[in-house]
């Protein structure tokens, strides 16, 4: 018995529609790996582990955080770009993921085309910190010393092309000062040298510095946002401290290999969104020095990344990131 071609095509289409929801409902049926391109203990690693634990509870499956540090997270990104696009290997990226496009000429992947945006998890402004033993009690005192040029100054970052690096270069442009950039292989090492007096300042996320601030080892001078942070209520914004329009933040988010089924992307996005709405998770994020992002759809997250690429592309050309 034969069927008209149109009927066969309709049957295939109907079968595909029936299978798609099942794919999302069944996912995940085995452990999921979140790949983090930084060392354990940093802000990105902390937020990734919090999200992983919450997803594991929901999914009744192990969600493993795998640290692949190096090359400003490009090693981790390359591994995920080459992974099977089935939702079982995901990248926990940060703003530096976009910036790597303008820093690294030999990326083994395309920052945009090799990944599918899934969900933003964190968005937090960067903060200017100095050693607690330094003589600078506020931004005005630090700027005065920088402009006097009686001694050379330096700032630490977690690596060339990261947001702390970009923040430092923008700070130099806006203040007309000279500060040597000292890149490290991760935020923790930079914080250690800042505490030890090897470098003079840094522009990390609160998550990388909060413990040291609480312990009295670092002093926060200003926050690069429009509003003060809840966990740093006594620290002014840059505008309040006398430097207007200095706004820069770091996001964390989940990306999947390009070609990951949209049903799986939507499921992960919905579950992450529910997690971010949980007050207990928001408090846990805040304790890390992170801020839970406002839930977005995958398309909204993708649009944000596209806008950021354009803005940072213009900035990268201005400060010539590739020469640093």
Could you tell me the residue ranges of all domains in the chain? 8-123+251-323, 127-247
CA-to-CA dists, residue 113 to 121, 309, 322, angstroms: 21, 13, 22
Superfamily of domain 8-123+251-323: Bordetella uptake gene, domain 1 (3.40.190.150)
One fold for 8-123+251-323 and 127-247: yes
> Rounded to an integer, what distance in angstroms lies between the CA atom of residue 157 and that of residue 166?
9
User: Residue 65: beta bridge partners?
Assistant: 34
| pLDDT per residue rounded down to tens, the chain (324 residues) | 454 555 544 455 455 444 444 455 699 999 999 999 999 998 899 999 999 999 999 999 999 999 999 988 999 999 999 999 999 999 999 998 998 898 888 999 999 999 999 999 998 899 999 999 999 999 999 999 999 999 999 999 988 777 888 899 989 999 999 999 999 988 889 999 999 999 999 999 887 898 899 999 999 999 998 889 888 999 999 999 999 989 888 899 999 999 999 999 999 999 999 999 999 999 999 888 788 999 999 999 999 999 889 888 887 887 766 544
- Per the confidence metrics, is the pTM higher than 0.75? no
The beta-carbon contacts of 238-241 under 8 Å, at least 24 apart in sequence, are 238/128, 238/139, 241/138, 241/139, 241/140
Q: Fold for domain 127-247?
A: D-Maltodextrin-Binding Protein; domain 2 (3.40.190)
């Amino acid at each position: 018995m034969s069927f008209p071609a149109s009927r066969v095509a309709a049957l295939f289409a109907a079968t595909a529609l029936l299978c798609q929801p099942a794919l999302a409902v069944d996912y995940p049926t085995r452990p999921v790996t979140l790949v983090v391109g930084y060392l354990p203990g940093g802000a990105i690693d902390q937020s990734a582990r919090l999200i992983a634990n919450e997803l594991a509870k929901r999914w009744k499956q192990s969600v493993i955080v795998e640290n692949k540090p190096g090359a400003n997270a490009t090693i981790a990104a390359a591994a995920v770009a080459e992974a099977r696009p089935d939702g079982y290997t995901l990248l926990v990226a940060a703003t530096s993921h976009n910036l790597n496009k303008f820093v690294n000429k030999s990326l083994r992947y395309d920052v945009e085309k090799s990944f599918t945006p899934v969900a933003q998890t964190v968005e937090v402004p960067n903060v200017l910190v100095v050693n607690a033993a330094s003589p600078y009690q506020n931004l005005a005192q630090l700027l005065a010393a920088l402009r006097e040029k009686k001694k050379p100054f330096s700032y630490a970052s977690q690596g060339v092309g990261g947001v702390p690096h970009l923040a430092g270069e923008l700070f130099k442009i806006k203040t007309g000062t000279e500060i040597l950039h000292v890149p490290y292989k991760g935020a923790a090492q930079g914080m250690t040298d800042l505490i030890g007096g090897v470098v003079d300042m840094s522009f990390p996320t609160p998550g990388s510095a909060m413990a040291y601030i609480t312990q009295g080892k670092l002093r926060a001078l200003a926050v690069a946002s429009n509003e003060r942070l809840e966990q740093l209520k006594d620290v002014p914004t840059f505008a309040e401290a006398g430097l207007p329009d200095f706004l820069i933040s770091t996001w964390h988010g989940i990306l999947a290999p390009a070609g990951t089924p949209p049903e799986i992307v939507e499921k992960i996005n919905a579950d992450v969104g529910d997690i971010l709405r949980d007050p207990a998770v928001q408090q846990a994020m805040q304790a890390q020095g992170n801020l839970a992002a406002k839930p977005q759809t995958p398309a909204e997250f993708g649009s944000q990344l596209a806008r950021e690429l354009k803005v940072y592309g213009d900035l990268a050309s201005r400060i010539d990131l590739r020469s640093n």
